[in-house]
Structures are given as structure tokens and as C-alpha cells.
Chains A and B, each alone.
Chain A
């Protein structure tokens, strides 16, 4: 029996294994530009996954998520450039500082829902942006902090690719475990029916707050990884258009499916990369894409695929039942 169960595991996760294996050998034959793009997609995918903890699982439309991304990036930059702390401290402290920011912002925000939640998170993130943009002596303002050193072992893009890939997998497993835990299920239950969860004696806003903090933690890590990839950080990491862009990625990929945000992040990043080769008017294309998406595919790409698969399944099952 255990043998059969093991076989079941492999067949069930065949696609997952193929994808992981593909990306594990991907750098062996691809040019530098692709490796760079793939690394960037991994980082943005982690960022989008962290937002989906609030957006998809918590059902709260956060429009200030780039704030934690920005805080994570600046933490790493300032810790290495100003305080000359070792690399490991700089990268590990980034998510922690971002989580502290998330704790403060979440404290005020998670009591609200819907549009009020969106406005409050947007307001706080804009304040962080304004400080990063204006506080020249600390953040170097809109010049940004550039020339951030990376240890020799991670200097090559291939090494950094594997580093980010490894972190992404660990984080995805962690997020999966959190989402399937009693805590994660409670968050989901709050999204579905807030009142019923309140009546069952659970503290609704404690759960949402903790969820917000964990999401901030992963966003901070993503910001730190991106800063180490580009060796630079700018205040625009935290501008509100960035927050809107990541919301778009989640919706585009599909908020209801675990890997939805990853698909969205990859699709939008690739589209941006390839459309901007052909035209200067990438934003117009993106704007039209958003309008089409909202009208035609409200479940996102993966939501659409899932619906189709379910329909096929039902078709296959119905004759037997009949």
C-alpha cells in the first residue's frame, strides 16, 4: 500500500516536478538576459504570492503592498551601505523590518474592509514612499541607493538565480503550509463569512492582523532579493502604481488558485518585457489588457483553466451517473 501511495504522489505532482526540474536546469543553456528575467520573475512571483495572502485568502483589497517591498529593499540597502553589516544580517533583517511595518500599518487597517481598507493601506504606503523620496540624508531621496555589494559567491547571475530559486521554493512551501494550517483556514473562513467566525468565538482581527504581518514579511524578503539583483533601490519601489501593478498580477493570474499569482507575475513581466520591445506605449497596451481582463476573465487565467477542467470533469462523470 505505501508503494501505491508513493506512486500516487508522483503522478499527482507530475507537472510540479516537471516545472521544478525545468527551472533547475534552465540556466545551463540559457543566455544571461533570460536568466536575469527569470530571476526577476521569481522575485516578483514571491511578491505577488505574499499579496495574495491578504487579497485572495483574506479577501481584503490591499493597495499599499509595495510599501513592504520598498521597506525590505531599503533595509538591505541601508544595512549594507550605511551600517556595513554583513550580507546575511542585511538580507535576514529585511523581512523582519518589513513585518514590523506591516504590524503597525495592519494594526490600523485590518479592522476595515473593502474600499476603506484599500484607501488606508494606500495612504500609509504613500507616506512611506514620501519619506523615502524626500529624506535625502537617510535614503538618498530620488537618486536611490546604488552600488550595493553582493558577496563574491552570488555575484554571478547563475549563482544568484539558484539562490533566489531555492528561497522561492522554501517560501512557497511555507506559504502552502500556513494556508493549509488551522490558522490559514480560519483566515479563509473570515473571508467567506466574517460574522459567523465572530460568533464562533474567534478574534477576527487578530487572525487578519497576523496574516497581514506574515504577508509583509514575505514582501520584504522579495524586495530585498530584488535590490540584490539590481544592486540598487529607488523610492519608486513603493509608489502606488507598483502596488496597483501587483494587485493586477494577482487578479490576472487568479486569486482563487494557489499558483495563480505566480502565473500572473510571469505573464505580466514577460508581456511588459516583450511589448516594450515593439512599442513605447506599453502602458496603453496594459490598460486595455486590464479592461479586457476585468470584463472577460474575472477569475484570472488559472481560474478560467480550472473552470474549464471542472466542466470537462463533469462532462466525463455525467454519463456514468445517468
Chain B
């Protein structure tokens, strides 16, 4: 029995970790390439969840409707934020970091009220697609099938992003622009366009995270503000801009929280912050990051 308790705790921790990873992956990508701390990431995640809710409802809660939603909803949200990036953020990359922080914070709180205006103040729950409405047996114990799907999707997204960044021409351009903007521009590459596409990709990942979370539980407008800070913690533990680091850090945060509940239920959330501060003191540049110049 105790073995199963630990196992189920581990699995639920892994589910949480995958959600954290999906929120953080887009943030770390944007941070790594665009060198901006995007506070709006949590808002994108929240909009992803709400858009998914709307589409699932529109398609009548069927299985095929769910798959269609997973394709359409994140792309719709990402497209919206691409436009926002091109209109607002593009002109601030070269300016002081502070303006960018404020701008993304402004976008975050604006999306928060936008969601309340469009979808109302009441907590919404998207219907679970019929094919996932049953548990699977793991070592003879029932476990929600959707959670298994979510864990799979987490790893799938990781490999997808990794392949895009490492193996495609687009990814190479991205990394080049991250290393040296001027040189990349001198080679005839349209750097602003690359940046918009990276921002769009980051938004797409976060919106996908939101869409995947939508059938799991209630959604409220302030989930974006809380998710934003979780993503931030994961990214800082990971080291700014590191994708494998984000997966590991999300795993640590998810599991620390899942097992923390067993030990000290009162402090479950604080454990994550404890990991953060230990990392900040021992390795301020994160697990996978490069040491920052210390003066």
C-alpha cells in the first residue's frame, strides 16, 4: 500500500511537472533568444485555457472536437500575441530592460481583465473528452488516463521544441540571432521577423499548456498570475534559456511539491521557493545556465 502511495504521489508530481514545464518552456525560449523576461507568459497560458474551453464547447465536447481544439486554440492565441509583439514590443528590445518588464506586466494584467470581461467571473470547467473519461490500471491501481496523456504530451512537446531548435534551419537562425543580433542581421536575415516567430513559438507552447490543462479542473482569470510566477521559478532554477534545464527544474518542482504534501502539508508551495533560494545562493545562474559575470 505504501509503495502505491509513493508511486501515485510520484505520478501526480510528474503530471504537475509537465504543466510547469509547458508554462516555463516558452518563457525560457523567449528569455534565451529575445533576452526579455516575459511576465505576460502566464496570461498567454490562461488565455490558452479559456480559448480551449470555448472551442471544446463549440465542437460539442466530442473526441474529434478535442483534437481539433488542441490544434486551433494554441495557434489562435499565438497569432494574437505575434501581432502584439510586432505592434508593441518590437521597438523596445534595444532599450532599458525595465521598460520591457513593465510592458509585459501591463499586457499580463490587461489579459487578466480581458478574460474576466469575455468569460465572466465564475470558475469555468471544460468538459473532459469522452475517450479520456476512464482510468487506466498502473500496477493494478486506477490512475486517470488524461494524466497519462498529459505526461506523454509534456515529453512530446519537449522533443518537438528540442528538434525545432537544434535540427531545423529556423532553429539555427534563432540561435544565431540570440548570440549576435547585429551579425545575423548583417548576413541578410530579417531579425525582427525571427524574433516575432520566436515569440509566437513561445506563446504557442504556453497556450498549448493552458489548452491541455483546461479539461483537468476549474479555470479562473488569476491562474495566469500564479502560473507566471511558477514559470519564473522553474526558469530561474533551470538557468535562463536552458530547455533541458527547464524540464529538470519542472520535474524537481513538481515532485518536491507532491512529496512535500506528504511530509509537511502546510508548506507544500513554500518547498518550491526553498529550492529556488537554495539554487539562487549556491548557483545564482541556475542548474544549466552559464555563470553570470559577478563584479
Which residues does A use to contact B, with CB under 8 Å? 55, 61, 63, 108, 111-112, 114-116, 118-120, 122-124, 126-127, 130-131, 133-136, 194, 198, 204-205, 240-241, 244, 247-248, 251, 280-284, 286-291, 293-295, 298
**Cα–Cα distance between A122 and B39 once the two chains are bound (Å):** 12
Q: Which residues of B contact A281 (CB under 8 A)?
A: 113, 116-117
Cross-interface CB contact of B109 among A112, A114, A286, cutoff 8 Å? A286
Q: Which residues of B contact A135 (CB under 8 A)?
A: 266-267, 270
- Known contacts A115-B37, A194-B295; decide if A127 and B284 are in contact (CB<8 Å): no
**Cα–Cα distance between A283 and B115 once the two chains are bound (Å):** 11
**Cα–Cα distance between A249 and B106 once the two chains are bound (Å):** 13
B229 interface residue (CB < 8 Å to A): yes
B183 interface residue (CB < 8 Å to A): no
Chain B residue at smallest Cβ distance from A61: B98
**Cα–Cα distance between A251 and B276 once the two chains are bound (Å):** 29
B115 to chain A, nearest CB (A): 10
A132 to chain B, nearest CB (A): 10
- Known contacts A111-B294, A112-B284, A123-B280; decide if A131 and B110 are in contact (CB<8 Å): no
Q: Mark B277-288, 1 if CB is under 8 A from A, else 0.
A: 100110010000
Cross-interface CB contact of A131 among B97, B106, B233, B270, cutoff 8 Å? B270
Q: Which residues of A contact B269 (CB under 8 A)?
A: 130, 133-134
Chain B residue at smallest Cβ distance from A129: B273
B interface majority secondary structure: helix
Closest 9 CB pairs of A and B: A287-B110, A290-B106, A284-B113, A130-B273, A283-B113, A130-B270, A127-B273, A283-B109, A281-B113
**Cα–Cα distance between A281 and B37 once the two chains are bound (Å):** 25
Return 10 A-B CB contacts under 8 Å, by A number: A112-B284, A123-B280, A130-B273, A244-B39, A248-B102, A251-B98, A284-B117, A287-B108, A291-B110, A294-B106
* 227-241 of chain B: CB within 8 A of chain A: 229, 232-233, 236, 240
Cross-interface CB contact of B266 among A112, A134, A244, A247, cutoff 8 Å? A134
- Known contacts A61-B98, A287-B108; decide if A123 and B276 are in contact (CB<8 Å): yes
**Cα–Cα distance between A287 and B233 once the two chains are bound (Å):** 24
Q: Which residues of B contact A298 (CB under 8 A)?
A: 95, 99
B79 interface residue (CB < 8 Å to A): no
Which residues does B use to contact A, with CB under 8 Å? 35-37, 39, 88, 91-92, 95-99, 101-103, 105-114, 116-117, 225, 229, 232-233, 236, 240, 266-267, 269-270, 272-274, 276-277, 280-281, 284, 292, 294-295
- Known contacts A133-B269, A281-B113; decide if A288 and B101 are in contact (CB<8 Å): no
Cross-interface CB contact of B106 among A61, A205, A291, cutoff 8 Å? A291
Q: Which residues of A contact B109 (CB under 8 A)?
A: 241, 283-284, 286-287, 290
- Known contacts A194-B295, A284-B114; decide if A127 and B106 are in contact (CB<8 Å): no
Chain B residue at smallest Cβ distance from A279: B113
Chain B residue at smallest Cβ distance from A204: B295
**Cα–Cα distance between A114 and B225 once the two chains are bound (Å):** 23
B267 to chain A, nearest CB (A): 5
**Cα–Cα distance between A131 and B273 once the two chains are bound (Å):** 9
Other than A116-B292, A281-B117, A291-B88, give 15 A-B pairs with Cβ distance below 8 A: A112-B294, A115-B36, A118-B101, A126-B229, A133-B270, A205-B295, A281-B116, A282-B113, A284-B117, A286-B106, A287-B108, A287-B109, A287-B111, A290-B105, A294-B99
Contact A284 B110 (CB under 8 A): yes
**Cα–Cα distance between A120 and B116 once the two chains are bound (Å):** 31
A128 to chain B, nearest CB (A): 9
Contact A295 B88 (CB under 8 A): yes
Contact A283 B112 (CB under 8 A): yes
**Cα–Cα distance between A127 and B281 once the two chains are bound (Å):** 13
**Cα–Cα distance between A127 and B60 once the two chains are bound (Å):** 43
- Known contacts A283-B112, A295-B88; decide if A119 and B37 are in contact (CB<8 Å): yes
A66 to chain B, nearest CB (A): 13
Contact B236 A294 (CB under 8 A): no
Chain B residue at smallest Cβ distance from A132: B270
Contact B284 A120 (CB under 8 A): yes
Q: Which residues of A contact B36 (CB under 8 A)?
A: 115
Contact A251 B284 (CB under 8 A): no
Q: Which residues of A contact B98 (CB under 8 A)?
A: 55, 61, 118, 247, 251
- Known contacts A115-B35, A281-B116; decide if A290 and B102 are in contact (CB<8 Å): yes
B171 to chain A, nearest CB (A): 23
**Cα–Cα distance between A108 and B276 once the two chains are bound (Å):** 14
A316 to chain B, nearest CB (A): 32
Chain A residue at smallest Cβ distance from B225: A241
Chain B residue at smallest Cβ distance from A110: B295
**Cα–Cα distance between A55 and B280 once the two chains are bound (Å):** 22
Contact B277 A287 (CB under 8 A): no
Contact A294 B92 (CB under 8 A): yes
Q: Which residues of B contact A55 (CB under 8 A)?
A: 98
Chain A residue at smallest Cβ distance from B272: A130
